[in-house]
Structures are given as C-alpha cells and as structure tokens.
Amino acid sequence: MTFPTIWLPLLLFISTVLSQNKRSFSLISDNDAAFCVRTVDCIEKVKKLVPQTNNFWFGDTWKLHCGGFSSSRREHNPIKCMNPRELSAYHSLGGRLFHARTFTAAYLQNLAIYPRMTFTLQSGQYRGCDHDFIVECNRSQVIAHPEMEPLQPFLTRVVPEISWPELGSNESNVIMLLDAGFGLLKYLVVDYPRNPKVIVDYETVDNFRPNQPTPLVLLVFRGSEEVSESIKTAKFNREKMFLLTNFMMEHGLEADLIGINWALIGSDAYAMERQRLKGSVDNCHSLVQKKLQKEKLYEFTELFLLSEMDSSLSVSFSQPKASFEVCCKHIQTEEKDIFVDPLDSGQTFPTLALRKEPVVTSMRSIEYETDNYQRSLRHYIALKEDRFTIVLFDPHRHYLHWFITDIPAGSLAAGTIKAEGNVIAPYVPPVPGEFQKCIFPVMILFRQPRSQNTPSEISQFYGEDHVLRSTHCKGHCVYRSAFDIAQFKSFHRLRLSAMSWFKVCFDFYEAHRRIEYLKSENGTKEMPRGKPGTKYVWRPQQDPNEKRDDERIYLKAKMAEICSAARQGEPHNCDIEPSSAFTFTTTVTTVLLALFTLLL
C-alpha cells in the first residue's frame, strides 16, 4: 500500500477529531501566557483552583479568625469578618458559587472553553472618603485571569469585553458575572454574540477590604433560543443574593456550563465610598490606618493599637463670610463648610473657620453579636449602651483643646455630640500660639468601657469639682497643658475608634485678629513698660506726646512682625498697614470729635 493510501484515512480521522474538539487545542493569546498557553491547560488549571479554600478572604483565613470556633472571637475585626450568613459556611470558590459544602469536579465536567475578560482602563478622578483621588493609567487594557494583579474597582467600572478563540458569530450563549464574595449578580447577557440582549446591566464589585481581593467570576453557558426567551421573562434583583443552582435548574442549564474564569478585584476609596453611600459599611478608616502606619506622623501612635480603629470621623468647620483689610491686603472669604481631610497632606485650614467648634459625625461600623455567635451572625450598627469620648489636642504642645465624654452612639450619627455628651473642657480654637508656626491638631474618638453607671467612670473622674470644668478653664488655662494622650487612653481603659487630623498655620485672619487686639484697650495695657532689655519704654513723667509716639512705634513694629509671619516670608513693600495704623493723628481726631459731641 502506498504512502498516501496508508496515511490519508488517518489524517482525515485526526482532522475530524480536532474539528470536534477544537476548544481543547486552541492557543491562548500571549497576554494570557502567564497563566496558561492552551485552552486544555487553562481548563485543567481552573479546575484545580476552584475547590481550593486558601485563595480568597472567605476561605481558611476567615474560618481561622472569624469562624464560630475561633478562640478569640471577642477580638474580631467587624469589617474583615463581615460575611453573608448564607455563604459563611462555604470557603472555596466552587462551594461559594454552587452552595456546596463538599465541592466536586462534577460541577465542572462540561467545561470546554476558557473565556477571556478584557478590561479597558480609563483614567479619571473621583471623590471618596472625603478626599479627591486622581487615577492615571499607564496601560489601556488588562486581560483578567485567576493569577492576575488585583485591579482597583475604579478601573473596572466599564463592562469588560468577553471572548474566546473558539467563539462563533452565530452562537447563542448566556454570559454571567458574579460577585462570589457576596453572591451578587453583576451582569447578565443572553443570546451572545448572535443577538446579545442585556438582562442585568453591568456593575463593578465594591470591595471594601484592603489587601483582600475578591473574585469577579465569569460564567458561560451554552444557550439556545428557548433558554434566552426563558431568561428574558424572569425577574432579577441585583441587591439580593443570587442562587446560581436555582437559576441553572429553572432554565435547563444544569449540563451547559462550558466556561469559567475570574478577575481579582482589589479595594480602593471608590468602592469604599459606594459602600458607605449604600449605608452598608464604612471602611474609610483603613486608609487613615495605612497613612499613619506608613508615614509615622505622630509618636504616640506607636503606642496605640491602630487595628482597634473601627470607623472614620467626618469633621467639618463652618467658615463665615468675611471681608477685611490687613497687611496691605484685602481679604474676602465666602461662607462655606470645610471638611477635614487627613489623607490630603497639602490641606491647610484657615484660622477663621476654627473660631467655633466643628460638627463631628461618625458612622459606626458593623459588629457581630457575641451571644449565640455560632448560631447567629446577625449584625447591627451600634449597641445603645455604647458611649464614646472625643478629644481634640495638639500632640506637639501637649495641649487639650476640646474634651467631651459619654457621647451616645446615636448622637455621633446625628452630629449632636456637644448637646448630648458631657463637656469636660469647652472648645478652644486650635490656632498657632507663635508667629511663623504651623500646628497639627489631632481629633480622636475613643470607645469607653461598657458600664451600667450613669455617669460613666471617666465622667465621674472629671466631676464638677475638677479643675478642667472650672470657670478658669472655660478658655485657655495652664491645666490644659501637659496632656499625655497615651497615658489618658491607658488610665481610662479607652479603645481607639477613629482618628483625624489637620494642619493650621498662622494666616492673615489671625494677623488681623491679633492686630485688632493690640489696638484695643487690653492690648495697649500689655505693651512693654520699662522691662529690662526692651526698646520701647517711657518714664512715668513722660510727655504725653512722647508716650503716644512710643505707642505708635511699638505698634508699628509689632504689626510688621505679625504681617511678616502672615506672609510667610513673602517679600513686600508694605510700610504702613491700612487697617492697623494706630497713629497720633487718628487718636487726636477721635478725641476732638468726642469732645465736640459733648459740647453740643
């Protein structure tokens, strides 16, 4: 038998087999080569990963630190341990998808393709966690796979392109995207790609857990016209848990799951803000924790357990409308609320906005009940008996600016901490005490130990007879000094709950306020009179005109010093300050007018 006669039937047979099983032998693009090369290899690799219980936040780590048999359940981080009750028993991706405690390969026996997700990245900006973020992309696309670097949710806000090498233009497939962490349907399309019909619009995964990526799972089902029509008539609620097995049975797809892949979605302020707006969880304080740990801004934080933080503070000051002349400048401000942004290193607060106490709110984090923990995972916002303490202080000068105890949890959400709390030390504006200086006041919210006593132990310690509550300390007083925040926290057994800070520098409003004080009667009384080493002195029998000249010289020199500090070293040609000139001529004119009025 000749060579063609021998091999031709065999080649035809191999060609037929390859044609019938072409999905298993197709090559994946170079962009996916880091994960797999051939479709058959990709499928086998996916099959090995799906049952594993150590790949995601809901796996072995959650079971160890948050599960019902955890040895330290009272120390649970309420946000890291947040897990839907219906899914908390499933620790592998496969168990999570199919609600199977014991996941088997039978669920994936019909896999025939490795679908590819391609995210188009778009630069942009957004506001989240009271901070403005700018995101710039150094690439235009990312092809997702199970071993990829996690993508920020902000970069996944556009629906990904879905394809695979074997995809035919006349196929009718069902495409689905699932948030496996919370069992939510994120995208559903039928009759793809022949005549695609979007049933559920795309929405990104709002992962609020830093350093704990969550899978956005792509599922592909072999469909038909009947299946498409059946799904079109069904109703879906994207806010409720999606039951994949029920969906498959209702639409006859039990044996038609042909492809699975997933993208790793990280966390960012975009996702945290979306969760906060939904009222579900506020994890913005994790960004504050990260900044404190990375930059080591304050020495006292090294003595604090930053992992105790469980919420974020929203602090806003009200800046009034003002217009004044000072230091050869016209200053005009608009009425507005200014929010403290500890993530913005360049934010400097105007001293004008600090004259009155701020509005402080805090959304309490979700906590799990400790009673019947294994039986129930119900959650709530905060216990009614929880009480909080808030302090505003300057950590460098160790000066206490504000101190309130016994703040109810409800008043934190309502922003009524002054009205409902116990004010120990009234608010004193945190402004620089020296020229050419900036200060960095810190506000800390502490959770008080639970107690049946009213008032609490800390309020009893700072009773009505305490010096901080005396009339003498309504404003600045020496007893506000030497405030040691670490000792304060330890002595009263307080737990760190939230923290914020801001920067304040000597500015033109503070210059205006101090110049006006110098011009006042009280300011005049404080002028140096005969002190050793002072330049501006006069004798008791000094001629009144000479005395007024000395006052004028002293005031002019002092105002020059104040204005120089407000300008922060900026060169200028301002010799006489228009709003602050305190001259003999002005004084004489004022006196003459007063006498003329009396004579009339």
The SS3 assignment for 439 reads strand
Strand partners, 553: none
* Residue pLDDT, tens place only, 112-134: 999 999 999 999 999 999 999 99
Q: What is the pLDDT of residue 561?
A: 84
Q: Name which residue leads in pLDDT, 27 or 411.
A: 411
CATH fold for domain 22-275 = Phosphatidylethanolamine-binding Protein (3.90.280)
**pLDDT class of 167 with cuts at 50, 70, 90:** very high
Give the lowest-confidence range in 318-327, 432-441, 443-452, 514-523.
514-523
User: What is the CA angle 36-37-43, rounded to 5?
Assistant: 55
* Residue pLDDT, tens place only, 330-339: 999 999 999 9
Is the pLDDT reported for residue 381 higher than 50? no
Q: Name which residue leads in pLDDT, 31 or 77.
A: 77
Q: What is the pLDDT of residue 531?
A: 40
CA–CA separation, 339 and 39 (whole Å): 53
Count CB atoms within 10 A of the CB of residue 416.
Answer: 16
Q: Name which residue leads in pLDDT, 454 or 310.
A: 310
Amino acid sitting at position 69: F
22-275 matches 284-505 in fold:
yes
Q: What is the pLDDT of residue 172?
A: 96
Mean pLDDT on 424-433:
93
Which residue is listed with tokens 């880091």? Answer: 34
Q: What is the pLDDT of residue 494?
A: 96
| Encoded tokens for 289 | 């924790």
Q: If 0-12 CB within 10 Å is exposed, 13-18 middle and 19+ buried, where does residue 61 land?
A: middle
Average predicted confidence (pLDDT) for the chain: 83
Mean pLDDT on 424-442:
89
CA–CA separation, 73 and 66 (whole Å): 6
The SS3 assignment for 167 reads coil
* Residue pLDDT, tens place only, 183-228: 999 999 999 999 999 999 999 999 999 999 999 999 999 999 999 9
Is the pLDDT reported for residue 9 higher than 50? no
* Residue pLDDT, tens place only, 479-503: 999 999 999 999 999 999 999 999 9
Which CATH superfamily includes the segment(s) 284-505? PEBP-like (3.90.280.10)
**pLDDT class of 45 with cuts at 50, 70, 90:** very high
Q: Please answer whether residues 435 and 562 qualify as being in contact, where contact means their C-beta atoms are separated by less than 8 angstroms.
A: yes
Domain ranges of the chain: 22-275, 284-505, 508-599
CA–CA separation, 549 and 552 (whole Å): 5
* Residue pLDDT, tens place only, 249-295: 999 999 999 999 999 999 999 999 999 888 888 899 999 999 999 99
Mean pLDDT on 44-65:
93
CA–CA separation, 399 and 434 (whole Å): 14
Is the pLDDT reported for residue 588 higher than 50? no
Q: Please answer whether residues 361 and 409 qualify as being in contact, where contact means their C-beta atoms are separated by less than 8 angstroms.
A: no
Q: Please answer whether residues 553 and 536 qualify as being in contact, where contact means their C-beta atoms are separated by less than 8 angstroms.
A: yes
pTM value surpassing 0.75? yes
Q: What is the pLDDT of residue 585?
A: 37
